[in-house]
Amino acid sequence: MTLELFPFGDAGERTALGRHAFLLHGFALPYEARLLPAIDHIQTEAPFHHLVTPGGHVMSVALSNCGRLGWTSDEQGYCYTEINPHTGRPWPSMPDVFRELAANAAATAGFDGFAPDACLVNQYLPGARLTLHQDKNERDLSAPIVSVSLGMSAVFLFGGLERSDKTVRVPLKHGDVVVWGGEDRMRYHGVMPVQDAPHPLLGSQRINFTFRKVI
Ligand code: MD6
Ligand code: FE
What's the gap in Å between 210 CA and the centre of ligand 1?
Answer: 7
Task: State the amino acid at position 17 in one-letter form.
Answer: L
CA distance 69 to 71: 7
- Indicate the DSSP class of residue 93: P
Domain ranges of the chain: 2-212
Is the predicted pLDDT of residue 105 greater than 80, yes or no? Answer: yes
Name residues contacting ligand 1 (CB within 6 A).
61, 120, 122, 130, 135, 147, 149, 156, 189, 191, 208, 210
> What's the pLDDT score for residue 7?
60
Instruction: Please give the helix or strand (H or E) that residue 106 lies within, else none.
Output: helix 96-108
Ligand 1 atom closest to the CA of 63, numbered from 1: 13
Biggest CA pair distance of the chain: 47
Name the residue among 72, 108, 116 with its Cα closest to residue 90. Answer: 72
Q: How many CB atoms lie within 10 A of CB 209?
A: 26
Residue 5 has a pLDDT of: 58
Three-class HEC string of 15-31: EEEECCEEEECCCCHHH
CATH number for the domain whose boundaries are 2-212:
2.60.120.590
Distance (Å) from CA 99 to ligand 2 centroid: 19
pLDDT band at 4 (very low <50, low <70, confident <90, very high): low
Q: What is the tens place of the pLDDT at every residue in 21-58?
A: 999 999 999 999 999 999 999 999 999 999 998 888 89
